[in-house]
Amino acid sequence: MSTHAIAPVQALLHQAASLLVYQAVLSDTPGQAFLALLQAIRHAERNAAAENTECLHAYGGWFSALADGKQSWQDHLLTQVLHADNPFTQQAQRTALSDVSPALVAAARHDLQVLQQIYAFSSQHLSQLVKVAAHLKAAPVVWSYEEAANLDWLRSTFHSAPDWGTGLEPLAAHYRKQGVGLFAQYKALQWQSGRLVGISSPDRVQVTDLVGYESQKEALLKNTTFLLKGYPALHVLLYGSRGSGKSSLVKGLLHRYGDDGLRLIEVAKAELTDLPAIVEPLRNLPQKFIIFVDDLSFEEDEDAYKALKVVLEGNLTARSQNVVVYATSNRRHLIREFFGDRPRPSDGDEVHAWDTVQEKLSFSDRFGLTLTFEPADQKTYLQIIHHLAKQAGIQLDSEALEFQALQWATRHNGRSGRSARQFIDFLSADLAGVGNGEGDAK
């Protein structure tokens, strides 16, 4: 392989090594496979047969890595830039670009100029280099993938800029709105074993999918808007019958407001003792966070109860204005109370036992907003049925639909949004002829 052909590869490797703050852009599997491929192409100038085979293996590894990610090489680089978590992006998300350390700004501009040259090194170009390096008669298959629409704004910004370093301002504005690292990559997350884990496929339920409970929906949307606008928002307890859509309503907020900087963090009851550790790092971030606790209730003297109480009421540290707790429960009084808890005059009893009882009963009052979800009556249940049937494209006589829906509720889980969804899912499959077209929606 000629020195003239290998010179751009050597220069690109040198430039990649010079990255100052955006090194992590090339630290994942596709990035490392790209660097390994460049190294293999550079080694191929020695014309050793084994090294030519190494070049083919390296190309295959890079091709497979991109195929696994379902992105083009250019889109992968842009996505890595948007999700980058480094000293520059961390400062840029918290403050105006003019207030970021000048050294970090200079480093970011340098790195973007380097990444621009890597971006220009197309899959077609790499395929041709491998053809020459491995003495192939035909170039290897070129990896390509449809461009992602969500990257159009950045793609157009950089395409119109002869120097990517001049595109730093819109990039910094993106970091301020959408965050960096995990919070840029994921809108929904879970706390698992002491760390946040992104949810790549969150529930796609929409707020508009939920029928009934309009006043509760309106109150929750209004409170969430307060949070997003930077006003004090209330912690919310969604209390009521099972299957009424409490959890779905909270999840639906993410799809309405996720692009506005809302993030949903689900915390299991068993992990509630970690709440202070979860909330504190979120305090100074520009995004707004809902801590979502599903099916909440406590036994007496649980540490989780005490941890949640600290987050709801605060301690010596001021409450985080960008974090609220939204919890669902089937119990109005979240801490179980027994008749044995009622004070009786006895030497072994607590002197001020009624204070303890009131402490238990008043815990739910620490949520500033309590939304009650009563069981669906027949009218509401049938409204939900018709709404879901329309969404599912079910063409069935209204009277027949309602008759079967009421039979379903009687024989299964009663009248609720969950029961309605289960009926519509079953009916859709039944009408499509699944199971040899036999049976009906009973």
What angle in degrees, to the nearest 10, is found between the helix axes of 73-83 and 102-120? Answer: 170
- CB under 8 Å, gap of 24 or more: what pairs does 46-55 form? 47/1, 52/133, 52/134, 52/135, 53/134, 55/130, 55/133, 55/134
What's the confidence (pLDDT) of residue 351? 42
Question: How is the chain split into domains, by residue range?
Answer: 3-184, 197-373, 378-431
Write down the mean pLDDT value for the chain: 84
The pLDDT tens digits of the residues spanning 78-134 come to: 999 999 999 999 999 999 999 999 999 999 999 999 999 999 988 999 999 999 888
User: Strand, coil or helix: what is 393?
Assistant: coil
Question: Is there a contact between 150 and 178 (Cβ–Cβ < 8 Å)?
Answer: no
Handedness of CA 61, 62, 64, 69 (dihedral sign): positive
User: Per-residue DSSP letters for 197-254?
Assistant: EE-SS-----GGG--S-HHHHHHHHHHHHHHHTTS----EEEEE-TTSSHHHHHHHHH
Question: Is there a contact between 39 and 9 (Cβ–Cβ < 8 Å)?
Answer: no
Where does residue 135 fall: left (phi above 0), alpha (psi -120 to 50 degrees), or beta otherwise? left
Q: State which H helix or E strand residue 2 sits in.
A: none
CATH code at 197-373: 3.40.50.300
| SS3 readout for 357-370 | HHHHHCHHHHCCEE
CB atoms within 10 A of CB 142: 13
Task: Label the pairing between strands 195-198 and 188-192.
Answer: antiparallel
What's the confidence (pLDDT) of residue 344? 53
DSSP symbol at 101: -
Question: Is there a contact between 37 and 61 (Cβ–Cβ < 8 Å)?
Answer: yes
Task: Kindly state the average pLDDT of the residues 358-379.
Answer: 74
The pLDDT tens digits of the residues spanning 86-95 come to: 999 999 999 9
Task: Kindly state the average pLDDT of the residues 299-321.
Answer: 69
The pLDDT tens digits of the residues spanning 372-409 come to: 888 888 888 898 889 889 888 898 889 999 899 999 98
φ, ψ dihedrals at 194, nearest 5°: 90, 10
Terminal alpha carbon distance of the chain? 72
User: Per-residue DSSP letters for 116-160?
Assistant: HHHHHS-HHHHHHHHHHHTT-SSPPPPP--PPPGGGHHHHHHHHT
Question: Is there a contact between 104 and 91 (Cβ–Cβ < 8 Å)?
Answer: yes
What's the confidence (pLDDT) of residue 150? 86
The pLDDT tens digits of the residues spanning 33-69 come to: 999 999 998 888 665 554 568 889 999 999 999 999 9
pLDDT at 303 over 80: no
| Alpha-carbon gap, residue 290 to 66, rounded angstroms | 34
φ, ψ dihedrals at 60, nearest 5°: -60, -40
